[in-house]
Amino acid sequence: MTALVPLSAAASPDPTPATAAMSALLEVRNLTINYASPRGTLRAASDVSFAIRPGEVMGLVGESGSGKSTVAMAILDLLGEAGRIDGGEILFEGTDLRRLSAGQRRSLRGDRIAAVFQDPFTSLNPALTVGRQIAEPLVQHKGFTPRQAAPRVEELLAEVGIREPRRIAQSYPHQLSGGMQQRVLIATALGCDPKLLILDEPTTALDVTVEARIIELLAGLCESHHLSALFVSHNLGIVNRICNSVCVLYGSEVVETGRTRDVLARPVHPYTKGLVAALPRITTDRRHRLSSIPGTVSKLSGPPDSCVFAPRCPFAEETCRRLPQALRGDAAGNSVRCWKAEALSGTPWPEESTASRPPATPPARTAPLVQVDALRKVFGERRSILPWLRRDGTVAVDDVSFTIQRGEVLGVVGESGSGKSTIGRSLLALIEPTAGTVLFDGADFVKQAKEGDRDLRRRAQLVFQNSAASLNPRKTVGAAMERPLVLAGRQGEAERREMIAALLTRVGLPAAYADRYPHELSGGERQRVNIARALATDPEFVVCDEAVSALDVSVQANILNLLADLRDELGLSYLFITHDIAVVSHIADRVLVVYGGTICEEGPIGRVLRPPYHPYTEALLSAVPRLSGAEDGPEPERILLEDSTAPPGGGGCAFRGRCPRKLGTICDERAPPVQTATDGHRIACHIPLAELAERASVFPELAALH
Amino acid sequence: MLLYTLTRLAYLAMVLVVMSILVFLVTQAMPGDVASMIAGQFASKEVIDAITVKLGLDQPLIVQYGRWAAGILQGDLGRSLVLEQPVAPILMEALSRSLVLAVVALAVVTVIGIGAGVLAAVRRGRMADQMVSGVSYLGIAVPDFFWAIVLVLIFGSYLKWLPTGGYAPLADGFVPWASHLVLPVVTLVLMLIARIARLTRSSMIDVLQTNYVKYARAKGLPEKVVIVRHALRNALLPTITVLAIDFGLILGGVVVIETVFSFPGMGRLLLFAIQRHDLPLIQATILIISTAYCLANLAADLLYAFVNPKIRHGMGNA
Amino acid sequence: MVKRLVARAVLSAFLLSGTALAAQAAGTLKVAVDSNLNTLDPAKMKGGQEYVAAYLLFNGLTAIAADMTLKPDLAERWEHSADLKTWTFFLKKGVKFHSGREMDAEDVLATITRIQDKATGSTARVNFEIVESMKAVDSHTVEFTLKSPYSGFAELFGERQARIVPRDALDTLASNPVGTGPFQFVSFAPGDRMVVKRNPTYFEAGLPKLDEVVIRILPETASQVAALTTGELDLAWNLPPEAVDKVKATSNLKAEAVPTSTWDGVIMNGTTKPFDDVRVRRAVATALDKQAITQIALFGYGTPTHSPIPPSHPYFNKDLPIAKGDPAAAKKMLAEAGYPNGFEVTLYTPAGRATRERLGLAVRELLKPAGITVNVQRVPFDVFLKDIEGKAGFYIDGFFSRPTIDTSVYPWYHSRGSWNAALWNYSNPAMDKLLDGARQASSEEEAKKLYGEVQALAVQDAPGVIPYVINHVNGVSARVQGFTSHPMMFLDLRNVSVGQ
Amino acid sequence: MTAASPTRAASSRSAPKRWPTSLVLGIALLAPLLVVAVAGPWLAPYPYDEMNIMSRLQPPGPDFWFGTDEYGRDVFSRTLVGTTNSLVMGVAATAISLLVGVPLGLVAGYGRGRTDEIIMRCMDVLMSFPPILLGILVLAVTPPALWKAVVAIGIVYVPQVVRLTRAITLELMQEEFITAARLRGESTAYILFHEILPNIWPPLAVESSLRVVFAILLGAALSFIGMGAQPPSSDWGLMISEARPFVEQAPWIALCPGLAMGITVIGINLLGDGLRAVLDPRNTGGH
């Protein structure tokens, strides 16, 4: 790494960057955006600069509140009324968009600069057919009549991999799956042959197997159309997969930018280091403590007067807290906003102490704590005197059996609609199973809970995904935590207060938080409160239902560490429900892979990650975006599934509709047999084990570990 | 959509049956009785008894109800005791006049109310918005009958531009017909428009903040297209519902406005029936009013379903 | 499309002035009445606005003229036996119903039989209870035999309900009335309007002059007056007193007023406490200032009086004082009756009769100084009929003009009078004797003397307070010619025409 | 969760909340009305039912600030005293709707299934009558009186309250904190009254303010057609109704109660809008 020169200082007077700008398709220079809010001006972007060359895909990376979407919206001139650009330039093909009239900017939008938004479902107008919505830019910018646009719309739909373009064009958004909807948005964006795509978290709302397909599609399109793109994302794995260069935002500022390979493999800025380190990886030892970034993003009001990351930076010094930092670039085109960058080069993000962590011990083979047998749940069954209203309902969970030992963490992995949450809630008798039994410590949980057995309730708890919704907004943290104690028979108020304080401390929160209301806490803090509340009853078993999914990477690492600590110290058992295979591989002892309400594969995590795979597991694992690259070796071939469709129901394998290795009618007609490999590793598939075992490992790097 | 309609119709039928029983019982419970009302002042007991027997009022309630319900099912709404005429034509005439009032008033309300609401939403927080909310406050602040009186005073008594009461059939010519409608319509519009404008405004504001509107802008569509094609289309859903319900309300008679303007619609017919204690007329009128109201509600839901492709294409069930 | 239509409607309505609105076929008179016509069957009519229809469509055997004298109508002439018990009516020949059939004696018999039938529920039934038997002497002669002598029998045929109807169309009268009257029925839309057109075969030659009459139901006085001013209406029947000043003040309008014998009364039921004590009743009567009441209730459009015999009538007893309101004296009387501190009582008024409601409030106010606390309660008219009249102790009631003095007094004050028991339950043998005597009075002088005593006794016993008789006022456009208000509140349009 | 979204940023407890203008205005309008409602009879220059036949239909002047009516009664005094009537009518009727509607809505939303079905079908029947018709029906059964009008109006608006309560309850039932409560083994009563009810109040308060307005207007309408307050009481609707025949000669008789009603309704509406802004920041407008 060579000497860094301040980039922004040299920007305008020096003609060299200007010529660089000429070659850039989009150049954002010193962009500053503020939001007016009832409590003063908030910074959303300060002094943000980056450039995208033709054909380049740049990732704009950051956690919530970093300002990445604001920048994207500013380029599209869609900031809304509260947001205001207070400085800087947005040059598109050398023209400052801010100097154009609103009308001129509008005529660029959808034509030369097209966009794809995060949530395809809400981005499509529910009242119009998708064909009409795709045609709109064509009619607007290219002078097509709606009739002329029709064949072009079908062409576009075909190009984004939609099989029946004519039928789909006449559909309404709600009739399409999430993946299809996103394809429709992409088709819309491609319509006018844009130069630049603004992709705002285009896959965040999608399941991982669908995400993989969309990313593949986007990568292909950028390649074939020689498109430039600004890819806004919080997911480093995806950015790594698709972006040539990356720009990391933190607290409204660009902290590091450069070629993706460089930045993600050898991060220079402390924040980037922390972010990369905090990412749970399939390959890391599950007993290994995740690195995490302490603290939360500070409030961004007024102009920056110090390094924004300083309060959370383990390398921070007095200087960091006094002076704002400037972005400095090197010869390779990478730049970083940290004056200590050179000094820290090669210094890794500090490891969390693992001293207290006992070695992984296999759970004792005693009577299981939880025993689920032939669980079945049918939703939406309706009886009615009106014959046409009678409905059979949909099977959410079909014949699921498993056990959980004391002190064991059982992961449940699946995509949306797999029935994983239903399993979790049936276990706690929040949902009454249609059939099957749940034994908790030998007792029939559903029956006991119905009869109001509070002790059983006490011993099994739940941590929710939505940290905000799981706390009553009208109750203080203390009040929320007090109820379980009251119910548990803790009469003394002082005693309860003490216990609450202890619990809060236990989950790493100040005891004074007891007096706060949920909305005064950050997401991570609320999740800690949720955990503390679950712990208040001194449970033995906790269901974690996507407990870390809504959190930013750095916070997620914190919570995962906390959960792991609690397991080790209190001997808790978890049912850990998640869609994120990396998270589950980090924390779980055993894993259930569920699809369409049935278990496809079950086994110790180390087994499930290695062949033989159930075809679904294989696809799921291969779809996981990773920070591979130099560190992890070459990326293996991906297995891409069809867009998700509703499980076909009836007899046969639930996965048969999307299975790339479907054998034939046998899969349609007969439920797959459960084949046992080794060590309680079971796979439900018609394909013989031996044949399944022939497949290469999705994670060749794992082979080296064991 | 068909199943949805069928379901709603079945529910409507059930509601109507229960309602008819309720109406029958309630009207039976009214004080005063028909026979003495017919017999008039100072009638002797035998006279009243004679009338009671003649009208079958001495029979058990269940029999009376059965007879009444059976008649209705055969399209016979009964005979008015006071007017001594079949109820149906009287009702139909009043209903047709109320229908005229409803159609004209709602046409005006729809155009102006939605327009004002959209304007206010698009210019949120600015002059136009303030003006719309100011005017709509005025509209809802004082009761309709107060407006009616003020209008009568201004246009009838002082300016003498318009007739202040009654109804002229279209056969009298277009001008008399229309001129008799102006004041009741204006009053109704004043009463209804505030709600429509405010509702349109608030749902428009909600819709303008949706992702699909943002995405429509990202496509570079002109603001007019964004507002009309993308926002208004969806924002109108709740407004349509309210409009349809209002339609049912007017159809069922706006008692107060009809009173002030001597408008011979359903509302005054009902009041007349109640005052004369004309049970068959009361029962039939209430039944028709409520049915009209229920149908308007049903129409609102169906319209909602129809405009909303999510329900139209399958997903909707009751 | 609808929008454009509406826009045009609104526009033209604003552009057009009232006169343009009034452009209508000549010879059409547009009349407003204040309330719906309940029935078009004359036997069943009860309200003034219905009688309006009755006099347009039907005739009686006799008619009460504007000067209160009895005139022949369908009967050419009549005669009675010396004992006043047998009455013979000779019908005009060639009078045709609107259906084209000639009216004859059988129709008269059918009409009266129908009125006598209890199931018909006619309020005129009591009048004809006196009839012992009747028969058709020939096709145009009817003979009635009475149970007792009755000098006023011919006047009964001028009564509102005693309209002669065709015997072959009795069942459809309510919806399609057929009569002999100057106008024939065209259409009726309840709550809205009734339309009648000229009867070309009307028996009075050259009459009526109008081609068409439209009776519109406009309950709002303000609307009526406004419509009169703009020319949309030609005549507003029976204007409420509060609107009279406005009509008078308008240049192209006339207020045609005439005193009537229609009265309102404060009824004190003699079978209820404390009104079973005549001193209490007298105290109430003494406390009420009739002039003030006339002002409050009628805005002065009435005449203070003391009994149902109107001040305009020759039999009116001018010597009786009309109470000026003396609370002190009233208080003293109450003290004598054992109510030194007064008492509290509920006064019921029928809802929807503004004049009577105002009368009630005036009574409440005027009795206050006498120590009587009155709570006014308004009840719907049907409830009033069922639960109040004749049953409650203290209430406001009122009655239309009757064609004869006897029918105006006898039913109320005679202890066996048909309406006595359903009103104030008054019974005084002296009164009975006077009334019976008056029925058989051989001369006008005798009748006048006897009725004078009746009035004095009525005031003295005070079964109720009759504060005033009402003036009947019609608001009439200047274009209307040949119209006079009738003291019986009939609407006689035979000689009316509309100018330009 | 991407860009800083300050509109949704959690408001800190320590940061002083600015009262919305509408709330301030609403309170400013309603406070004097409340005083009048309580102290009306003492503030009024004349007794509300004192007749002065010599000065009937007097125009506004020094003796009678808003003139006199057809009985010579002081319009201003009557309007003042009528305030109590109107406010009590609005508030009491709303209270009845809430007392009946909220528990029903809670039970329907919480119980779901059959209970819900039965309750909602009953509400459907009630809702199949237009409000004023229902009011008229109730009042036609018994002789009209003010308190009956209040009850009638209360009943008329029960379905709306039930629907709203049920909708919010159903929504809340999806919330995870309710799940958390069930998980703790809380009793149904505790969940209804300690977890759900506190979250229902804000939208219900906003709704109630609207209900009060509707109740006042409906009450006035019923009085106007003679089925509510009875003379000589000084209910505003009744006053306007009684003023009709004289409105040309003496418009002030109708004007004063009309104005009073306007102020009341606007005041409560503003209050409602203000409450909405304070309690329910997501909502943007009214209906």
419-458 in chain C: CB under 8 A from chain B: 419, 422-423
Largest CA distance in chain B: 85
Of the residues C35, C245, C290, C361, the best mutation for testing chain D's interface (the one with the most D CB atoms within 10 Å of its CB) is: C361
**What is the structure's pLDDT at B39?**
61
70-109 in chain D: CB under 8 A from chain A: none
Chains A and D touch (3+ CB pairs under 8 A): yes
- Whether residue D95 has pLDDT greater than 90: yes
The DSSP H or E segment spanning A107 is helix A102-108
- Whether residue D285 has pLDDT greater than 50: no
Q: Which residues of B fall within a CB distance of 8 Å from A108? A: 220
Q: Which residue of A has its CA nearest to D176?
A: A470
**Assigned token pair, B173:** 């010519």
For residues B148 and A398, give the distance between their C-alpha atoms in angstroms, rounded to a whole number: 66
Q: In what order do the strands lie in the sheet with A40-52?
A: A40-52, A26-37, A83-92, A95-96
- The answer to whether B115 contacts chain C (CB < 8 Å) is no
pLDDT tens-digit readout, C332-368:
998 998 898 889 999 998 877 788 888 998 898 889 8
- CATH H-level, domain A24-265: superfamily: P-loop containing nucleotide triphosphate hydrolases (3.40.50.300)
- The answer to whether D184 contacts chain A (CB < 8 Å) is yes
Compute the Cα dihedral for C95, C101, C107, C110 and give only its sign.
Answer: negative
In the three-class reduction of DSSP (H, G, I as helix; E, B as strand; rest coil), residue A688 is classed as coil
**Assigned token pair, A106:** 């509008």
**What is the structure's pLDDT at A645?**
61
Exposed/middle/buried for residue C172 (C-beta within 10 Å: 0-12, 13-18, 19+): middle
| Chains touching A (3+ CB pairs < 8 Å) | B, D
The CATH 3.40.50.300 domain(s) of chain A lie at 24-265, 403-430+444-588
Which pLDDT band holds residue A113 (cuts at 50, 70, 90)?
A: very high
C102: β partners: C96
ipTM exceeds 0.85: no
Q: How many CA atoms lie within 13 A of B255 on its CB side?
A: 26
More confident residue, A449 or B282: B282
- Whether residue A280 has pLDDT greater than 50: yes
| Residue-by-residue DSSP string for C279-340 | HHHHHHHHH-BHHHHHHHHHTT-EEE-SSSS-TTSTT--TTSPPPB--HHHHHHHHHHTT-T
A42: β partners: A35, A301
Tell me which residue in D56, D230, D245 faces C378 most closely, judged by beta carbons: D230
Which pLDDT band holds residue A364 (cuts at 50, 70, 90)?
A: low
- Whether residue C136 has pLDDT greater than 90: no
Q: Are A134 and A156 in contact (CB under 8 A)?
A: yes
Query: Do B290 and D128 lie within an 8 Å CB cutoff?
Result: yes
User: How many residue contacts between B and D have a Cβ separation below 8 Å?
Assistant: 130
Share of residues in chain C with pLDDT > 90 (%): 9
Q: Which residues of B fall within a CB distance of 8 Å from A389? A: 3, 7, 317-318
Binding-site residues on chain D for chain C (CB distance < 8 A): 51, 53, 56, 70-71, 143-144, 226, 230-232, 244-249
- Whether residue D113 has pLDDT greater than 80: no
Q: Which residues of C fall within a CB distance of 8 Å from D226? A: 351-352, 378
Q: How far is D214 from chain B (nearest CA, A)?
A: 10
**What is the structure's pLDDT at A365?**
58
For residues D161 and D102, give the distance between their C-alpha atoms in angstroms, rounded to a whole number: 6
Query: Do D4 and A82 lie within an 8 Å CB cutoff?
Result: no
**What is the structure's pLDDT at B104?**
92
| Residue-by-residue DSSP string for C155-181 | HHTTSSS-----GGGGGGTTTS---SS
Q: How many CA atoms lie within 13 A of C335 on its CB side?
A: 8
Triad C460, C464, C467: Cα angle to 5°:
95
Triad C13, C17, C21: Cα angle to 5°:
75
330-359 in chain A: CB under 8 A from chain D: none
**What is the structure's pLDDT at A276?**
87
As a residue count, chain D comes to: 287
**What is the structure's pLDDT at A17?**
40
- Whether residue A231 has pLDDT greater than 90: yes
Q: How far is D8 from chain A (nearest CA, A)?
A: 10
Among A291-300, C208-217, C315-324, D248-257, which is the least confidently predicted range? Answer: A291-300
- Whether residue C375 has pLDDT greater than 60: yes
Query: Do B174 and C216 lie within an 8 Å CB cutoff?
Result: no
**What is the structure's pLDDT at C13?**
41
- The answer to whether B94 contacts chain C (CB < 8 Å) is yes
**What is the structure's pLDDT at C10?**
42
For residues A241 and C53, give the distance between their C-alpha atoms in angstroms, rounded to a whole number: 94
Question: Chain centroid to CA C262: how far?
Answer: 6
For residues D97 and C335, give the distance between their C-alpha atoms in angstroms, rounded to a whole number: 50
**What is the structure's pLDDT at A362?**
52
pLDDT tens-digit readout, A526-536:
888 988 888 88
More confident residue, A504 or A80: A504
Q: Which residues of D fall within a CB distance of 8 Å from C295? A: 53
Q: In what order do the strands lie in the sheet with A682-684?
A: A460-463, A541-545, A573-578, A409-413, A590-595, A598-604, A682-684, A674-676
- Whether residue A11 has pLDDT greater than 50: no
For residues C340 and B253, give the distance between their C-alpha atoms in angstroms, rounded to a whole number: 53
- Whether residue A392 has pLDDT greater than 80: no
Which pLDDT band holds residue C223 (cuts at 50, 70, 90)?
A: confident
Query: Do B93 and C189 lie within an 8 Å CB cutoff?
Result: yes
Name the residue ranges covered by the structural domains of chain B. 2-73, 88-317
The Cβ of residue D237 has, within 10 Å, a number of other Cβ atoms equal to 31
DSSP A266: S
**What is the structure's pLDDT at D198?**
84
Beta strands per DSSP E along D69-171: none
Give the amino acid at A599. I
- The answer to whether B154 contacts chain C (CB < 8 Å) is no
User: How many residue contacts between A and D have a Cβ separation below 8 Å?
Assistant: 101
- CATH H-level, domain B88-317: superfamily: MetI-like (1.10.3720.10)
For chain C, helix (H) and strand (E) counts, in that order, are: 15, 19
- Whether residue A13 has pLDDT greater than 50: no
Query: Do B221 and A124 lie within an 8 Å CB cutoff?
Result: no
The Cβ of residue A568 has, within 10 Å, a number of other Cβ atoms equal to 15
**Assigned token pair, A492:** 């003394």
pLDDT tens-digit readout, A554-594:
788 888 888 888 888 888 899 999 988 888 888 888 999 99
**Contacts of residue C88, Cβ cutoff 8 Å, sequence gap at least 6:** C78, C79, C80, C137, C141, C142, C143, C144
For residues A553 and A572, give the distance between their C-alpha atoms in angstroms, rounded to a whole number: 24
Q: What is the mean pLDDT of residues D109-118?
A: 82
**Contacts of residue D193, Cβ cutoff 8 Å, sequence gap at least 6:** none
Of the residues B12, B14, B126, B212, the best mutation for testing chain A's interface (the one with the most A CB atoms within 10 Å of its CB) is: B212
| Residue-by-residue DSSP string for B130-181 | HHHHHHHHHHHHS-HHHHHHHHIIIIIIIS--S--S----GGG-HHHHHHHH
For residues B191, B196, B198 and B202, what is the CA-based torsion angle, rounded to 10 degrees? 160
Tell me which residue in B211, B234, B314 faces A123 most closely, judged by beta carbons: B211
- Whether residue A229 has pLDDT greater than 90: yes
For residues B44 and B36, give the distance between their C-alpha atoms in angstroms, rounded to a whole number: 9
Of the residues A125, A139, A379, the best mutation for testing chain B's interface (the one with the most B CB atoms within 10 Å of its CB) is: A125
For residues A348 and C473, give the distance between their C-alpha atoms in angstroms, rounded to a whole number: 107
Pairing label, strands A409-413, A460-463: unpaired
pLDDT tens-digit readout, B130-149:
888 888 877 777 788 888 88
**Contacts of residue A130, Cβ cutoff 8 Å, sequence gap at least 6:** A124, A168, A169, A171, A172, A173, A176, A181, A184
- The answer to whether B311 contacts chain D (CB < 8 Å) is no
pLDDT tens-digit readout, A162-205:
888 899 899 888 888 888 888 899 999 988 889 999 999 888 87
Among C140-149, D191-200, D223-232, which is the least confidently predicted range? Answer: D223-232
pLDDT tens-digit readout, A604-663:
888 888 888 899 998 888 888 777 654 445 556 677 777 656 555 667 888 888 888 888
C28: β partners: C212
Query: Do A109 and B220 lie within an 8 Å CB cutoff?
Result: yes
Share of residues in chain A with pLDDT > 90 (%): 12
Compute the Cα dihedral for D129, D132, D133, D138 and give only its sign.
Answer: positive
Q: Are C84 and C151 in contact (CB under 8 A)?
A: yes
For residues C29 and C235, give the distance between their C-alpha atoms in angstroms, rounded to a whole number: 8
Chains A and C touch (3+ CB pairs under 8 A): no
Q: Which residues of B fall within a CB distance of 8 Å from C25? A: none
Query: pTM for the whole thing?
Result: 0.78
Helix axes D146-156, D158-174, angle to 10 degrees: 40
Triad A657, A662, A667: Cα angle to 5°:
75
**What is the structure's pLDDT at A680?**
83
pLDDT tens-digit readout, B70-81:
888 888 888 887
For residues B32 and A533, give the distance between their C-alpha atoms in angstroms, rounded to a whole number: 66
- Whether residue D11 has pLDDT greater than 80: no
DSSP A579: S
Across A379-388, D90-99, D168-177, the highest mean pLDDT is recorded for: D90-99
For residues C66 and B14, give the distance between their C-alpha atoms in angstroms, rounded to a whole number: 60
In the three-class reduction of DSSP (H, G, I as helix; E, B as strand; rest coil), residue C443 is classed as coil
Question: Chain centroid to CA C382: how far?
Answer: 19
Which pLDDT band holds residue D84 (cuts at 50, 70, 90)?
A: confident
**What is the structure's pLDDT at C118?**
77
Q: Which residue of D has its CA nearest to C219?
A: D245
Q: Which residue of C has its CA nearest to D53?
A: C296
Q: Which residues of D fall within a CB distance of 8 Å from B192? A: none
Single out the residue of A113, A366, A346, A356 nearest to residue A229, CA to CA: A113
Single out the residue of A250, A239, A335 nearest to residue A67, CA to CA: A250
C264: β partners: C398, C468
- Whether residue D22 has pLDDT greater than 60: yes
pLDDT tens-digit readout, B118-135:
999 888 888 888 888 888
Q: Which residue of A has its CA nearest to B124?
A: A81
- The answer to whether C296 contacts chain D (CB < 8 Å) is yes
Among A10-19, A621-630, D70-79, which is the least confidently predicted range? Answer: A10-19
- The answer to whether A128 contacts chain B (CB < 8 Å) is yes
Q: What is the mean pLDDT of residues A445-468?
A: 80
Q: Which residue of D has its CA nearest to C289?
A: D53
Q: What is the mean pLDDT of residues B101-123?
A: 91
**Assigned token pair, C98:** 């609107």
pLDDT tens-digit readout, A583-601:
888 888 899 999 888 899 9
- Whether residue A15 has pLDDT greater than 50: no
More confident residue, B38 or C430: C430
Single out the residue of D225, B54, A693, D70 nearest to residue C119, CA to CA: B54
For residues A4, A5, A6 and A8, what is the CA-based torsion angle, rounded to 10 degrees? -110
Q: Which residue of D has its CA nearest to C384?
A: D143
For residues B282 and D133, give the distance between their C-alpha atoms in angstroms, rounded to a whole number: 11
177-236 in chain C: CB under 8 A from chain B: 189-193, 216-220, 222-227, 229-230, 232
Chains D and B touch (3+ CB pairs under 8 A): yes
Whose tokens are 């008894």? That residue is: B49
- The answer to whether D1 contacts chain A (CB < 8 Å) is yes
pLDDT tens-digit readout, B179-199:
888 889 998 888 888 888 888
Single out the residue of D171, D169, D142, D173 nearest to residue D155, CA to CA: D142
Mean pLDDT, rounded, of chain A: 82
| Chains touching C (3+ CB pairs < 8 Å) | B, D
In the three-class reduction of DSSP (H, G, I as helix; E, B as strand; rest coil), residue C28 is classed as strand
Of the residues B21, B124, B255, the best mutation for testing chain D's interface (the one with the most D CB atoms within 10 Å of its CB) is: B255
Q: Which residues of D fall within a CB distance of 8 Å from A452? A: 185
- CATH H-level, domain A403-430+444-588: superfamily: P-loop containing nucleotide triphosphate hydrolases (3.40.50.300)
Of the residues B256, B272, B294, the best mutation for testing chain D's interface (the one with the most D CB atoms within 10 Å of its CB) is: B256
2-21 in chain B: CB under 8 A from chain C: none
